[in-house]
Amino acid sequence: MVRKYVRKSSRASYSEEDMSKAIDEVQSKTLGLRKAAEKYGIAVATLQKRVKKNQFVVVNIGLRRLAFEFAEANHIDHQFNKEKRIAGKQWAQNFISRVGGLSIRTPEATSMSRISDFSRAKVQRFFDLLQEAQLKYQFKPDSIFNLDETGVTVVQNPKNNNSAKGKKAILIYKRVRLNPHLLTGAIPGTIGIPSPTGWIDTDIYFKVAEHFIKSVRASKDNPTLLIVDGHSSHKSVKAVNLCREHGIVVITLPPHCTNRLQPLDLTVFGPFKSYLNSEMDIWMTNHPGERITEYDMGPLIGNAFRRAATPNNICSGFKTSDIFPYNPNVFSDDDYAAADAVNAGLKEVLGDKNMNNEEAKDKKSVDSDIEGDIKKLESPNVSVSELNPKSKQKASKKTTNRVQQKSEVITTTPYKESLEEKENKIVDSKKVLRVKRNICDEEPGVSGIKTKKKVVKKQKRNKEDDNFIVNAFIAEVNSATLPKTG
């Protein structure tokens, strides 16, 4: 028997026109997602999917405006909206589907320092130093190590523990004194180091270097290569001398390039934190209602570290960064493009005269697609790159006078001597300040000293004037009439 089906619910009863209006209001931020869904009778999840699907319309507003400006600048007939000065949504949809190879991607948050410092010159210097050290010392694969730090917390979060290539780790706790129970359940051979601030300094790094030497059994007969970042705590005279005495060659990575060249950052620390979160989840399941403390972190870190620091992950980190096997040509021109744009100025990099063949080919393809779509009538006089707002930006000006860091072999004699000279200057400056305080504090009854102190405060105390000020104080004390003592 034929029956007529009667709809029993009102779900998905909205029209396509209502869906389009809801998407437009969400994308234009007129309404929020939930309010728009409630207004047009659309499920929140459904509207969210459709907004995400049509997200390229919002993302490519710049493309639509660029197409309009391109057509206007080159006197090409078009049917774009002249009041809003923008190409239509349908044109953007057709353009993306027609060109192919285009997709909407969420940009990765990156600091300007990481962009500008990842330059060809700095990376090439690191690989040159690495090659020279390898040719000189002939390091074996099992004598190449990477040392880096990463922080962990007792709060479960998937998204300071010290690690090196090997099976042992160093745990740094933010405390003045270390309780031995904090290491209960940790990997055998792990040591703990207290740090009042929670940060690594020269003294802590010296202890790390001592533990590293014991673990790898480094010696001058069996030279070892250690790759670290350029943090100041790694550059102390006592640590450099210790490494030199045990045949360890230390090379620092270029500044702000560890996300590309640090083996531990590439393949170990990411899995380690994921596994640590998993271990913490298991612990909380087995201990309902309890919180994780520092005394519980030893076995959790140990289990996670065993799972992350596998031979496969470690070797993959050195291979991905091309430290071993050695390959200085791992990065292409595209990898350095962002640094070139920042350092040389975006206008010069994106200009027609300075583009390489691949960039020129890509620009020509984009130009021709836009021209064909909006019915180009004559050869364009203005290129897309000239209309692109990015080409009008300028590289940021450096406001500091800090010395630019670079890769160094910090165990060489010239670098060690420069460190000694720098530390001697620091010691001398501290002595000068100590002498100043002593002269001002001694014999408060001596006439003229307080007056001299006030005069000196008004002077500009540059480094060049330090010796003059100290000599002036000493002369004042010597010439003063001191009270007689019994």
> Does 241 fall in a domain?
yes
Q: Work out the burial of residue 377: count CB atoms within 10 Å of its CB; fewer than 13 is exposed, 13-18 middle, 19 or more buried.
A: exposed
Distance CA 295, CA 293 (A): 5
Tell me which of 301, 320, 339 is where a domain ends. Answer: 320
Same domain flag for 311 and 429: no
Q: Which residues contact 175 (CB under 8 A, 6 or more apart)?
A: 194, 195, 196
Same domain flag for 309 and 445: no
Same domain flag for 311 and 182: yes
This prediction has a pTM of: 0.61
> Does 89 fall in a domain?
no
> Does 379 fall in a domain?
no
Q: Which amino acid is at 448?
A: G
Same domain flag for 431 and 293: no
In this predicted structure, what is the pLDDT of residue 5? 61
Distance CA 179, CA 185 (A): 14
Q: How many domains does the chain have?
A: 2
Q: Work out the burial of residue 292: count CB atoms within 10 Å of its CB; fewer than 13 is exposed, 13-18 middle, 19 or more buried.
A: middle
In this predicted structure, what is the pLDDT of residue 299? 92
Same domain flag for 169 and 295: yes
Tell me which of 299, 320, 341 is where a domain ends. Answer: 320
In this predicted structure, what is the pLDDT of residue 185? 87
In the block, tokens 């929020």 appear at 32
pLDDT tens digit at each of 486 positions of the chain: 456 666 666 666 788 888 888 888 887 778 888 888 888 888 888 888 887 766 544 446 777 888 888 888 888 888 888 888 888 878 877 887 776 656 555 556 667 778 778 889 999 999 999 999 999 999 999 999 999 998 888 876 644 444 444 445 788 888 889 998 899 888 888 899 999 888 889 999 999 999 999 999 888 998 999 999 999 899 999 999 999 999 999 999 999 899 899 999 999 999 999 999 999 999 999 999 899 999 999 999 999 999 999 999 999 999 999 999 999 988 888 888 888 777 765 444 444 444 444 444 444 444 454 445 444 434 456 666 565 544 444 444 444 556 678 899 999 999 999 989 988 888 877 777 776 666 665 555 544 444 444 444 444 445 445 555 556 555 554 554 444 444
The candidate with the shortest Cα–Cα distance to 87, out of 438, 387, 395, 454, is 387
> Does 157 fall in a domain?
yes
In this predicted structure, what is the pLDDT of residue 460? 46
Q: Rounded to 5, what percent of the chain is helix, strand, coil? A: 55, 5, 35
> Does 450 fall in a domain?
yes
Domain of 427 in residue numbering reads as 417-479
The candidate with the shortest Cα–Cα distance to 242, out of 200, 222, 201, 212, is 212
In this predicted structure, what is the pLDDT of residue 44? 87
CATH number of domain containing 199: 3.30.420.10
Same domain flag for 302 and 445: no
In this predicted structure, what is the pLDDT of residue 136? 94
Tell me which of 280, 297, 320 is where a domain ends. Answer: 320
| DSSP H stretches of helix in 217-296 | 237-245, 258-261, 263-267, 269-286
Same domain flag for 154 and 260: yes
Distance CA 53, CA 23 (A): 10
> Does 351 fall in a domain?
no
> Does 109 fall in a domain?
no
Q: Which amino acid is at 296?
A: D
Contact 230, 169 (CB under 8 A): no
Contact 313, 93 (CB under 8 A): no
Same domain flag for 315 and 445: no
Q: Which residues contact 29 (CB under 8 A, 6 or more apart)?
A: none
> Does 332 fall in a domain?
no
Distance CA 136, CA 159 (A): 41
Same domain flag for 151 and 259: yes
Distance CA 229, CA 253 (A): 5
